[in-house]
Structure 1
Amino acid sequence: MEPGKRAVREMSAKGPHARIVYNDVRGEVILRPATAVETASDIKLEAKRYAPGDTVTVRPVVYCPITRRHRVLPEYDGTVVNWASGHYNVRSLDADEHGHGVRPCRVHELRPAEERMTGTAPWFESHQDVNEALATLRTAGIPLASLSTKRGGTCTDGAFVIPEPGEGNPGVRVSHLLNGWGEETIAARRNATLRAQERTTRNEALDRYAEAFRTVGWKVMHAQAATTSTRCVRHLVIWPPAST
């Protein structure tokens, strides 16, 4: 505390927990005992916790001098630019309309970006045909779908590859995910216009994927819905070129 009590507006404690409301920009502060994991962790200097280029999740916290409260804004992902004058400059992955998106962030507003699944699920990363299919897509310049592992996280549209279920040599399934969905979203099922837009987007994307695979010798089959009057490709089933 500052000398005297003028800096403190309100203070209370119960057991090992305490609450302090300051009159200045510190606002409300909650104190609690450190957990065993936190106590055993190696605490790095603030300037050494992130390096330029690191991907982080930003939880913006702003102080309102009128209400004397902190307000938490929606989270977003960003890339660390540098450390400067007690804060990190972080560039948002989704820049605004002017192409800018750098914000000074205090250390407590940042955490390492959550794990994501890109192109396939972690438990399929050792599958040979899946790896070869992903390499083909990358070589063709086709973006891979990226899914957040946390509920409510952001998703990036693109190709997603998994082994086709079945015995023998069932092949590999290639889907085009839209906002994390490999089929019609709930909103599309309720809106005919949106449903048509999603089908067109998915059909065109899967046709591009099919052409990329056929070019390098993969066998490709379109899995289409049989209960619709318009063309609706669900996914692709592909097999790698036969070895000599």
Structure 2
Amino acid sequence: MDQHPSRPKGYTNPILPGWNPDPSCIFVPEWDNTFFCVTSSFMIFPGLPIYSSKDLINWKLGCNVVNRQGQVPELGLHDAQDNRIFAPTIRYHDKKFYVIVEYVTIGDAEASFGLVFSSSDPFDPDSWSDPIVFRQPQSILDPDLFWDDDGRVLVQAASFRQEIVQFELDLDTGATGPEKTLWKGTGGIAPEGPHLYKKDSWYYLLIAEGGTDLPHCVTVARSRNPNGPFEGFADNPILMNRNTSGYFQTIGHADFFQDGDGN
């Protein structure tokens, strides 16, 4: 039975007009078969907008994760557009929504820190928590959140060392485990925007690489172990628009999800 009988047959890009870079999206059957996306907001307040849709075509703004000054008071201290909070990840686990993001201060790694927000109702601004704060010895970018079968919470992130790293995170205390290298991509500069998934006993690591200009693209690797080693797909990249006539170029920062029809 089609769970989306009224789904429109056509669409026009962009589906989220305006300034909505680095989308991360999920499908949550428990929430009336709804898709949710979060996008970057950098130094803008309120920040980290959450959008919802029933058909992946028509979207509406639900609320903003960062909607109280006390959640991230540091936002009021700077106005550099290439800093602050960007490339978040949204996930749903045990009836809770989570958004993880790094507060970035380019050129001052010691001032950077990670943030994890949670909510039992993504449409209610008051439901979004004050963040759990975590810090790494070296600054990271674009953190991703993954729950393994053994209960461990794993964070995948981009490193300024031109690689994707991973570490464990305690969501109660913000304590982090040792950092290890997961993958360095296929050779493009600036591997970033990682997301980790498990399907059919394989772990898949999706990343962006090539820089954020025309060479930007999406690549994928897989492993039997969430800690690696990861082997890149032979036909990478799996998504790009360079050397095409496509109106939208510099395509990267993808995310995977499975809808109610198994797509």
TM-score normalised over the length of structure 2: 0.23
Structure with the bigger RCO (C-alpha within 8 Å, sep 6+) is 2
- Higher alpha-carbon Rg: 1
TM-score normalised over the length of structure 1: 0.24
Q: Which has the higher helix share?
A: 1
Q: Which has the higher strand share?
A: 2
